[in-house]
Structure 1
Amino acid sequence: MLALGEVRGRLFGLPRTTERVGVGTEPGLALCHTSSTAMGGHIAVEGPWGEGAEERGEFPWARGEVERVQRKVVPKEEVPMRGRVLVVDDDPLVSSALRRTLAREHDVEVVVSSRKALDMLIAPEGIYDVILCDLMMPEMTGMELHAQLEAAAPEQARRMVFVTGGAYTHAAQSFLERVSNPRLEKPFEPEKLRERVREWVAQVRTA
């Protein structure tokens, strides 16, 4: 009869089997012992002789704090709200440049006559999110167009953005100080213009 120490010594030895010879073998504790030792662990059998045994495995790499990997979540690129933009400018070069800059993101209409713009804006279907209007025009100035809209379509008057070249008359300077409408200085950078129009459209659409 094998002593307890001899039995424990053989537990982690060669593969053993409970089947008859030639049927098959099981690696049993030998494979467990080899694998755990190779990874820095330890496996042992405990328990009194003749009363059953307990197999205990210790794995040092499982001790201590688990390293947490934080993944940076990159939000999907937000698609800007598509708005209706009206450009009112008697200079075809300026109005064409504004259309080219904004047409990719918005529905842009251009008129070179402030009187035609007035007819469009007071019509039932003439609702625009942003109205880019030249401040100084010969037929009707942007200031006069604003005054007409304040009486006929005040909501549209509040959505006007005055395009200026930096040279103001005394009347124009007083007007800009009085109204709260934003202004756009010439010359403008395309990306900055797109950014500001996005903001103005979002303000109207989320109000």
Structure 2
Amino acid sequence: MPDMLTGPLATMTFENLTVHAGNKEAAGMARYLVQKWPDVRKGLLLAGPPGTGKTHLAAAVYKELGGVWVNVNQLIADLRPMGKIHQARESAGRCYATNHGNCGVINYKYRPTGVCRYCPAVARTTLPGVSDAPLLYLDDLGTHKPSDWAAEIIYGILDERTAPVLATTNYGLDELADRLGHDRIVSRLCGLAHVQQITGEDWRLK
């Protein structure tokens, strides 16, 4: 996982954030998070249409506090080849998850090494530092192609965490649950982040 932002994300700060009626409350919550850190129990789930500055706000917090930044769409794409191996073995009845309900793709409750017994290519070490990062950023949550395997990846990350999460999504909670495939993912996420709606016009279309 990258530990720093590059490209346009690196230039997104509180100083150059355009505050307007649609993001004023969210911006205030983000600044409050920075001011009170690390004495906070929850992060933020920034929800709103594309182009309303959700990622800018998340990047501004990252510039102040650091942590681990994950673009969820890219994460799922990177792990998909291993997911295909896992799914093939599961379909053949040779995956550890078939008998125990959870493969070691992320969750390592059943094996200390964090590797599914019959899926050695799928290791928890693919995601170093994610579960125990002081602050985890999940950007573009819900934009990936939905699948049961992707849902388990995301739930596995959230289920292992007790520390705050700062996530961005283009969807409301009900639609996000549909996109992710499980209500339990949104429920777990809401336990780690306050939901903050952002509205406004897409700045890319101006």
Same fold judged by TM-score > 0.5? no
Normalised TM-score (structure 1): 0.32
Q: Which has the larger radius of gyration?
A: 1
Normalised TM-score (structure 2): 0.32
